[in-house]
Chain A
């Protein structure tokens, strides 16, 4: 186990000025977001474009988008910690961190969306066994806890090594590892066991509880035939894998470029191959979902699909979800090992935009239809408050990520090589 000392002297990275502009941009966006959130808190949902016909809008869209990112990034990390795919080891802790942050952002979105934000705790205090949403909130809490603990154990050896550092990072590491500083092989072995167990528990939690569950939330609604399909939860999980992988690639490449670190092209190409596989599966499921939905010729579902394929959402469907979000990334990713980091970055970014469009097309189109003939149609358009607050929350997530990767040892170190050798 002597390898443990051959890694870079100080795991993680140097704090430089390279992120100053990033921080500044994010802080400005967050300030704007805070202003919008202030307007929302004071004005209630009146400041949104929501109506009683279209009661869910962009906040719900971004909520399911971020839940998906979280579930996807977490499932990717289980490939390493549970299934022993050490090829992706380098990105394991980053995946857990991204997953944790995405989930926090998702919950902020749903909090913002509550008509009575002051009663958010009721969602935990009161329950309803037949309500998917009631189950979901509890799964989310468990999941966040699990992510935090697993991330801690994944970083523990490096945190202990950082304790001595006379910096903010060192003090943070010391505070986190106060009486958990044992680095003996037995202790490390125990850490790995804990992580395997947590990862294994997390898989059903992430698939069935968190993202499959979020899909189920929609799938059980018989009043919306377009959502009311058993494929929906599956589709949610697969699209989560797509978006989670894409997000990690985008963030990882962005950060390493900024830090002037050498990119591991092998790792990225491996992730690109995974992304291609997930995307292909996702497109196949989507195809069946649309085909079978359309074939039913059920009036509401038909009207929803028409608005997606040839109506109000046609531009975003064909251009963003299909063109930029699927066809171009598939072409790029199919080039496999000939891809540069730049290409992979572009492909992953486009995939993210595509999945975001998928989320829009899940929530909004069916909610424009009247439930009974003769009732009014919905004409929802998000207001500036909804857009700016959303941007602000996303900037908050990004800030947490940049700060997290700067202050926590999330990068591959000697410790990983050790387990790599074992595995």
Chain B
């Protein structure tokens, strides 16, 4: 029974459809109200192929929600852990801010919250925070959690709980992102993940990313 019910979230990003507009990055900042220096999602530009058949592709980089997450492996207090739904979570109330996970993430997906904010540029910035992982933290203040802890993309878990897609998936103008349950063989992500175009980053490290790219 349990196996049939189980959800294992995954994301597929089609590199041929991504136009590099960075809308996902912006929508992520707006959705998660991340402070300066924290960007759960970025779009990088990389070269693929060998001369003379080189192409430049835009390669968005969220957290890969690895199935073998090195970040969770090294965390001394289990503040970072793998949830049953496949998402790698950070318990901001437990994280001691040692940043061991940051040097251990092969994708540069983790960010330290230095406690800065956009209060100068944006009136009222601190008054609205996002209920990451379903925890409502109220007003953002200096020295108050999550300041001083490590943060990263969490597939917009708070939106998933409301039955919505992650913000970046919903907004992508190129329709390059797909999101769904990988354990359901009929789901779009499961079918795309089986495509011969499917690949993951740094596969050789055995991290088993849950973000799959179509090259």
Tell me which of B61, B106, B113 has the highest count of chain A C-beta atoms within 10 A of its own C-beta: B106
Q: Given the complex of chains A and B, what is the CA–CA distance between A114 and B112 in angstroms?
A: 11
Instruction: List A contacts of B70 (CB < 8 A).
Output: 221-223
Name A373's closest neighbour in chain B (CB-CB): B46
Do the beta carbons of B44 and A375 come within 8 Å of each other?
yes
Task: Decide yes or no: A221 and B103 within 8 Å by CB, A52-B38, A113-B98 being known contacts.
Answer: yes
Q: Which of A44, A119, A217, A370 contacts B96 (CB 8 A)?
A: A119
Total A-B contacts with CB atoms under 8 angstroms apart:
132
Q: Given the complex of chains A and B, what is the CA–CA distance between A113 and B142 in angstroms?
A: 18
Do the beta carbons of B74 and A116 come within 8 Å of each other?
no
Does B214 interact with chain A (Cβ within 8 Å)? Answer: no
Tell me which of B98, B108, B147, B149 has the highest count of chain A C-beta atoms within 10 A of its own C-beta: B98
Does A128 interact with chain B (Cβ within 8 Å)? Answer: yes
In the assembled complex, how far is the CB of residue B124 from the closest CB belonging to chain A, in whole angstroms? 22
Do the beta carbons of B42 and A123 come within 8 Å of each other?
no
Does A323 interact with chain B (Cβ within 8 Å)? Answer: no
Instruction: List B contacts of A46 (CB < 8 A).
Output: 114-116
**Interface size for chain A: under 10, 10 to 19, 20 to 34, or 35 or more residues?**
35 or more
Task: Decide yes or no: A221 and B104 within 8 Å by CB, A52-B38, A114-B98, A127-B77 being known contacts.
Answer: yes
Task: Decide yes or no: A115 and B78 within 8 Å by CB, A44-B143, A52-B37, A133-B98 being known contacts.
Answer: no
Residues in B65-117 with C-beta less than 8 Å from chain A: 70, 73-79, 94-100, 102-108, 110-116
Q: Given the complex of chains A and B, what is the CA–CA distance between A384 and B95 in angstroms?
A: 27
Does B205 interact with chain A (Cβ within 8 Å)? Answer: yes
Does B45 interact with chain A (Cβ within 8 Å)? Answer: yes
Do the beta carbons of B96 and A115 come within 8 Å of each other?
yes
Q: Is the interface of A mostly helix, strand, loop or mixed?
A: loop
Does B148 interact with chain A (Cβ within 8 Å)? Answer: yes
Does B32 interact with chain A (Cβ within 8 Å)? Answer: no
Does B15 interact with chain A (Cβ within 8 Å)? Answer: no
Tell me which of B97, B107, B143 has the highest count of chain A C-beta atoms within 10 A of its own C-beta: B97
Does B59 interact with chain A (Cβ within 8 Å)? Answer: yes
Instruction: List B contacts of A128 (CB < 8 A).
Output: 75-78
Instruction: List B contacts of A374 (CB < 8 A).
Output: 44-46, 59
**Number of B positions contacting A (CB below 8 A):** 46
Name B205's closest neighbour in chain A (CB-CB): A222
Instruction: List B contacts of A52 (CB < 8 A).
Output: 37-38, 102, 108, 110-112
Name A50's closest neighbour in chain B (CB-CB): B112
Instruction: List B contacts of A177 (CB < 8 A).
Output: none
Does B150 interact with chain A (Cβ within 8 Å)? Answer: yes
Do the beta carbons of B74 and A133 come within 8 Å of each other?
yes
Do the beta carbons of B59 and A44 come within 8 Å of each other?
no
* Contact code string B176-215 (vs A, CB < 8 Å = 1, else 0): 0000000000000000000000000100010000000000
Q: Which of A45, A120, A372 contacts B201 (CB 8 A)?
A: A372
Q: Which of B78, B102, B143, B201 contacts A55 (CB 8 A)?
A: B102
Do the beta carbons of A372 and B148 come within 8 Å of each other?
no
In the assembled complex, how far is the CB of residue A321 from the closest CB belonging to chain B, in whole angstroms? 22
Do the beta carbons of A367 and B148 come within 8 Å of each other?
no
Name B101's closest neighbour in chain A (CB-CB): A55
Instruction: List A contacts of B105 (CB < 8 A).
Output: 223, 371
Do the beta carbons of A373 and B44 come within 8 Å of each other?
yes
Does A316 interact with chain B (Cβ within 8 Å)? Answer: no
Residues in B111-151 with C-beta less than 8 Å from chain A: 111-116, 142-143, 147-150
Instruction: List A contacts of B76 (CB < 8 A).
Output: 123, 126-128, 131, 133-134, 137
Q: Which A residues are within 8 Å of any B CB, using their own CB? A: 44-46, 50-53, 55-56, 113-116, 119-120, 122-123, 125-128, 130-134, 137, 217, 220-224, 367, 370-375
Cross-chain pairs A/B with CB under 8 angstroms, 6 sampled: A116-B95, A127-B76, A133-B74, A223-B103, A224-B103, A372-B46
The 9 closest A-B pairs by CB, nearest first: A115-B97, A374-B44, A371-B108, A134-B76, A126-B77, A223-B106, A55-B99, A133-B76, A115-B148
Instruction: Give 14 new A-B contacts, CB below 8 A, not counting A55-B99, A123-B76, A134-B77.
Output: A44-B114, A46-B115, A52-B112, A56-B99, A114-B97, A115-B95, A115-B99, A126-B79, A128-B75, A133-B74, A223-B103, A224-B104, A371-B107, A372-B44
